[in-house]
Structure 1
Amino acid sequence: MADNVKHDLWIYLLTLECLVSAVTAASENIALSKPVSSSHNDYGGVPERGNDGNDNPVFFSGNSCVYGKNTRTDPLPWWQINLQSQYCVEVVAVTNRADAFQWRLHNFTISVYTEDPSTTPTAVAKVCAVYPGTVGSGVREVLPCGSRVRGQYLRIHKNEMLHDDALQFCELEIYGTESSLDFDTSLSTGSFFSKNPALRLEGTPLSDHVGTPIQCGSLCGQIPRCFGFNFQAGLNSSKGHCELMSNPSSDPVHDPSWIWFDKRC
């Protein structure tokens, strides 16, 4: 039993590593040169350094790193980027400083918002990743989102502050896909689905339902294991038969009577 668990864990980690490598190798860094802001900056560590394409890990001579201390209004310093469009964020990579104070990049959270949390205090944070440890000196840490999250604003903030602490990093990259307007949207969950006519994902459904595509998308959006749904329209109604699916590694097959709705985020 123990050997089987170790084998499954090894397969999972290998698959995750391949996924991260594929996304970061094939995708465009959507963070590059987008508008940014921060709760505080000093010593020349302005927020624009965090996504200027310069990942030099030396703070002063490299002119490359962000610096932000805690303040009375922001006891946990943050850095934020406006992606200028809605994206399904999949992977974030952050590069740590290497010349001094490397330990400062520790215990932080990366969250995604559909509204600007700086101007809308009620904006809901959708967590991409929580990093409880300390990033190594000069290391580029690649963090896949635990679940694909959709939004326009991404924020990294510290979860705790130690003595002489600060939010410091030298580059933050974001990889994901734009939420196109032709995606079908589940209003109740904010999930986005791409519509693929004449295709059906094979396999055993998580569950079967009768309803409209929006209703099926709402159900799928509430289930983390649901990666999309097959929909077959009824003859005399907008409602039809939908199958919630959880086997994303399979490829949809041609089937003229079905539509495959792929959950993007």
Structure 2
Amino acid sequence: MRGRVAICILVCVTVLRIQETTGTDGNPALNKPTSASSMLGFASSTAVDGKNDTHWGSQSCFSVDFSDPDHWWQVDLQYQVLVTEIKVSSRSDCCPERLHDFSVDVYDTDPTLNPLSPAKQCYFYSGSVTSPGVTVTVTCTRPVSGRYLRLTGKNRINDVDVLQFCEVQVFGATETHSTSCSTLTQQRGKRFSSVLVHDLQSHVNDPAACASVCERDIRCTGFNFKLTEGTCQLVRDTEIGPTVADASWNCYQYEPCWVPCPA
């Protein structure tokens, strides 16, 4: 327990307590992978291409197919993001009213691969956009955390009523271990042997600096630090695997914060 307290204090003192916005102008959805229940004309990625041209002829607008009974569009933010607000732009040359009655939900895992992944609702937009080329700002009822953001069309009126818009912008903060409050536990003379261990590209010459880099990346589940060379290796996006004995290394693993870090 004393070792856990010590490393917790080390991390909390040496790491700046910030939430880092991502993407241009704080839009983590920009140019990220997208998917949809169907597509009509242009790819689902046009909705996050950064072009706010709302004319269909610009080839920068998205629509599901007319024959699609289940209307949704989704973006993989690729990181855990605390979503606070989104902006959705309607089409300007026709049919702005097609942007109506839609739900904005956030998921931790991809709901297309895991249908049981629970949806965390940011907001349900009730009503219809009546003016062409309008950008609707939707503020979450409460900030919601997740990696996948989905817009789902509700209350379809007729066969030509489809989920259709030209640009989606997401605003929020990338979550870090600071915001989720975890602690690092140390094992001396051991290292993680996971295949997902990666050497850092930049030189990090002490455990505190290595912890700082790891804490700022919510994907980082732990790290190895080689004492003789100052080598820092991060473990990302995986359950920490078994350790191997190696006197020249120490390893550190994130766990739930049993001991609250000092403010």
Report if TM-score (shorter chain) is over 0.5. yes
**Which residue does 1:6 correspond to in 2?**
none
Which of residues 68, 92, 116 is equivalent to 2:64? Answer: 68
Q: Helix, strand or coil for the counterpart of 1:50?
A: helix
Q: Helix, strand or coil for the counterpart of 1:157?
A: strand
**Which residue does 2:117 correspond to in 1?**
123
Measured after TM superposition, the shift of residue 181 of structure 1 is 2.4
TM-score by length of 1: 0.58
Q: Which runs of 5+ in 1 are unaligned?
A: 1-22, 187-193, 195-237, 241-257, 261-265
Measured after TM superposition, the shift of residue 64 of structure 1 is 1.0
Instruction: Find the aligned partners of 1:109 and 1:143 in 2 and give their Cα distance.
Output: 10
Q: Which runs of 5+ in 2 are unaligned?
A: 1-20, 183-214, 216-257
Q: Render the CA deviation track for 1:47-69: whole Å, top value 9, x for unaligned.
A: 01100011111112x11100103
Structure 1 stretches of 4+ moved >4 Å: none
**Which residue does 1:58 correspond to in 2?**
55
Aligned-residue Cα RMSD (Å) equals 2.4
Counting only pairs closer than 5 Å after superposition, residues 94-113 of structure 1 correspond to structure 2 as 94-113=88-107
Counting only pairs closer than 5 Å after superposition, residues 61-210 of structure 1 correspond to structure 2 as 62-69=58-65, 71=67, 75-135=69-129, 136-163=131-158, 164-185=160-181
Contact 1:108–1:130 (8 Å) recurs in 2: yes
Which of residues 31, 43, 62 is equivalent to 1:46? Answer: 43
- Letter of the structure 2 residue corresponding to residue 167 of structure 1: L
Measured after TM superposition, the shift of residue 239 of structure 1 is 7.7
Measured after TM superposition, the shift of residue 185 of structure 1 is 4.7
Alignment size in residue pairs? 165
Select the structure of larger CA radius of gyration. 2
- Letter of the structure 2 residue corresponding to residue 139 of structure 1: V
Instruction: Find the aligned partners of 1:166 and 1:101 in 2 and give their Cα distance.
Output: 10
Contact 1:45–1:68 (8 Å) recurs in 2: no
Contact 1:27–1:176 (8 Å) recurs in 2: no
- Letter of the structure 2 residue corresponding to residue 50 of structure 1: A
Instruction: Find the aligned partners of 1:130 and 1:120 in 2 and give their Cα distance.
Output: 22
Identity %: 33
Counting only pairs closer than 5 Å after superposition, residues 28-43 of structure 1 correspond to structure 2 as 28-42=26-40
Instruction: Find the aligned partners of 1:87 and 1:142 in 2 and give their Cα distance.
Output: 18
